[in-house]
Homo-oligomer: A and B are copies of this chain.
Amino acid sequence: MYVAQPIQWTDNGVVMLDQRRLPTEEISYTYTTYQDVAKAIREMVIRGAPAIGVAAAMGVAIGVQNSSAKSLESLRAEFPIILDTLAKTRPTAVDLFWALERMKSRFAEVSAQTSDLAEIKSALVAEAKAVHLEKRATDEAIGHFGAEFMPREGRVMTQCNAGALATGGIGTALGVIQVAVQQGKKLHVLVPETRPYLQGARLTAWELHRSNIPLTLITDNMVGHFLKTGNIGAIVTGADRIAANGDTANKIGTYQIAVLAREHNVPFYIAAPVSTFDLSIASGE
């Protein structure tokens, strides 16, 4: 199993793989300021709701770590500016706000216990790393839980990219497929190219190819044809946000794939972590 690394915490800074250049170029950048991390999120160097959450947590951590504040009071004054800068990058990604809220809580907690700036910085870096590790553990859990819904063999379909590139773990929807294949299921994945940004063609096809999982790239208008004629055993996609009633916001096209899946009696699954749920929203309307 090949697991792409969209984001990594290193001693030199936050390293991100530029997903806009895949699959033809694999280029990484190292960011040392929270402003640069915010810019990278805004400009889609990184994308995918869970990965954006990890990036936001690391952005807060690097902002605090590199702060020139000499006292807890001035760090307390700077902290909301860091949060606000990161909050403005991708307003539709609920994981972003979940991650910022978590870093805010940790800051409040640790700064109530100590005024030692080195200790506070260290705690926030540890928290960001913990967010990343938990995403990985979550993906593993989703993958193992979801794998049993995949057929023993045959064709499955996904859409856009809900792989390692989107989460920082093994992926949500692609994690399900990866684990199913590891368990010995013989899957062939149909990948709609996912216009306008072609995340299916550029990212999902690349990840599956790297993992030696057979795939067929199709255009988005071929989905109905293959659901009617192609013996698709299951469809699994990720989610940007899930409302309290289960309605799911995701890449454009997800809704029509779901309608087409029902028409052809093909099971359709959303693979997503709890952090993607937004219980403050009653429904998708």
Contact = CB atoms under 8 A, between A and B. Distances in A.
A224 B228 CA distance: 17
A219 B195 CA distance: 6
Contacts of A224: 253, 255-256, 259
Contact of A222 (B219, B223, B253, B260): B253
A81 interface: no
Given A220-B219, A220-B220, A263-B263, A225 B256 contact: yes
Size category, A interface: 20 to 34
A194 interface: yes
A247 to B, nearest CB: 12
Scoring A194, A219, A223, A228 by chain B CB atoms within 10 A of each residue's CB, the highest score goes to A219
A192 interface: yes
Interface in A228-265: 228, 251-253, 255-256, 259-260, 263
A221 B199 CA distance: 13
Interface string A174-218: 000000000000000000111110000000000000000000000
Contacts of A252: 219, 221-222, 225
A166 to B, nearest CB: 18
Contacts of A196: 219
A216 B252 CA distance: 16
Nearest to A220: B221
Contacts of A251: 221
Contact of A256 (B193, B194, B223): B223
Contacts of A220: 195, 219-221
A255 to B, nearest CB: 5
Interface in A18-49: none
Scoring A193, A196, A221 by chain B CB atoms within 10 A of each residue's CB, the highest score goes to A221
A259 B263 contact: yes
A78 to B, nearest CB: 42
Nearest to A259: B263
A47 to B, nearest CB: 17
A192 B251 CA distance: 17
Closest 6 CB pairs of A and B: A224-B256, A221-B253, A195-B219, A220-B221, A220-B220, A224-B255
10 contacts: A192-B221, A194-B221, A195-B195, A196-B219, A219-B252, A221-B253, A221-B256, A224-B256, A256-B256, A263-B263
